[in-house]
Amino acid sequence: MRTETIPCSYTARTGTGTGAGKIPLHPPRSLSADTLLRSSDRLIIFTRYPRPGVTKTRLIPLLGRRGAAGVQRQLTERLLARVAADPMLMERTTVQFTGGTHRQVRDWLGRQPAIAPQQGDGLGRRMLAALARARGRGGGRIILVGADCPALDPALIRCGFNLLAEHDITVGPCRDGGYYLIGIARQTGLTRIIPLFADMAWGSSRVLEQTLARIDRLKLSCALLPTLVDIDRPEDLAYLHHHPCPQ
């Protein structure tokens, strides 16, 4: 399975099994066009309540408990401020949280957006449960993102929705080998993608590789968004306020 660089700075990838090759794609329409969002589109943002000592723990040795929690707070608030500047996207957004109560998260984030606790044991089960919840509430194209990438913005999320018009899956790779975004098309059944969330080496540099290999085995078509940097380790902090252009 090979990749092809597309003029609009995303990568298209086939998921048609052994021997898959390049596929022709055209640059997407204007990312600001309202027609890119449908009433059934859903955006899920995964985050953690910024409780000192239990969030961004890999940053604690450098920043301390409160400093690490402050990074979590800043990243989440920054992403939500960007989404709020796109009212049509905000209407379709739910923040799913862990690490705090409904009241704590509502007091933190304010009246918008919609919020809900994450359900399930382990990240994979929580992600699958979030997608199932959105699909059960009428969701067609569904995108799930983390809040850890300073460069993530509504234009990139809209591009992800646009790609789901022609692909079963869209993925936004992280430079550390994980991913910051995964999206499923209306026609992509949840039972079919269970292997993408089961027995995965979450938190390791193999997550993206494993995910793409499983997408290939499932014979699903997949489009890759630009690679971004997420903030998890002390060396990532250089990109907290100054991040590189998407690759």
Residues 115-130 have pLDDT tens digits of 999 999 999 999 999 9
**Res 29: pLDDT:** 39
**21 within a domain of the structure (yes/no):** no
**Res 25: pLDDT:** 30
Alpha-carbon span 225 to 160, nearest angstrom: 7
**Res 23: pLDDT:** 26
Instruction: Sort strands 42-48 and 93-98 into parallel, antiparallel or unpaired.
Output: parallel
**26 within a domain of the structure (yes/no):** no
∠ at Cα 210 (141, 120), nearest 5°? 60
Q: Say how many domains are in the chain.
A: 1
Whether the CB-CB separation of 149 and 174 falls below 8 Å is answered with yes
**Res 15: pLDDT:** 39
Kindly give the parts of the chain with pLDDT less than 70: 1-36, 242-247
**Res 112: pLDDT:** 86
Q: Which residues contact 5 (CB under 8 A, 6 or more apart)?
A: 11
Model pTM?
0.86
Alpha-carbon span 152 to 239, nearest angstrom: 12
**78 within a domain of the structure (yes/no):** yes
Is the bond leading into 24 cis (omega within 30 degrees of zero)?
no
**139 within a domain of the structure (yes/no):** yes
**Res 244: pLDDT:** 52
**24 within a domain of the structure (yes/no):** no
Where in the sequence is the domain holding 173, given as residue range(s)?
3-16+40-239
Longest Cα separation, the chain: 52
CATH code at position 140 = 3.90.550.10
User: What does the H/E/C string look like for the chain?
Assistant: CCEEECCCCCEEECCCCCCCCCCCCCCCCCCCCHHHCCCCCEEEEEEECCCCCCCCHHHHHHHHHHHHHHHHHHHHHHHHHHHHCCHHHHHCEEEEEECCCHHHHHHHHCCCCEEEECCCCCHHHHHHHHHHHHHHCCCCCEEEEECCCCCCCHHHHHHHHHHCCCCCEEEEEECCCCEEEEEECCCCCCHHHHHHCCCCCCCCCCHHHHHHHHHHHCCCCEEECCCECCCCCHHHHHHCCCCCCCC
**215 within a domain of the structure (yes/no):** yes
In single-letter form, the type of residue at position 215 comes to I
**31 within a domain of the structure (yes/no):** no
**92 within a domain of the structure (yes/no):** yes
**Res 72: pLDDT:** 96
Residues 184-228 have pLDDT tens digits of 999 999 999 999 999 998 988 899 999 999 999 999 999 999 999
**Res 241: pLDDT:** 82
**Res 6: pLDDT:** 33
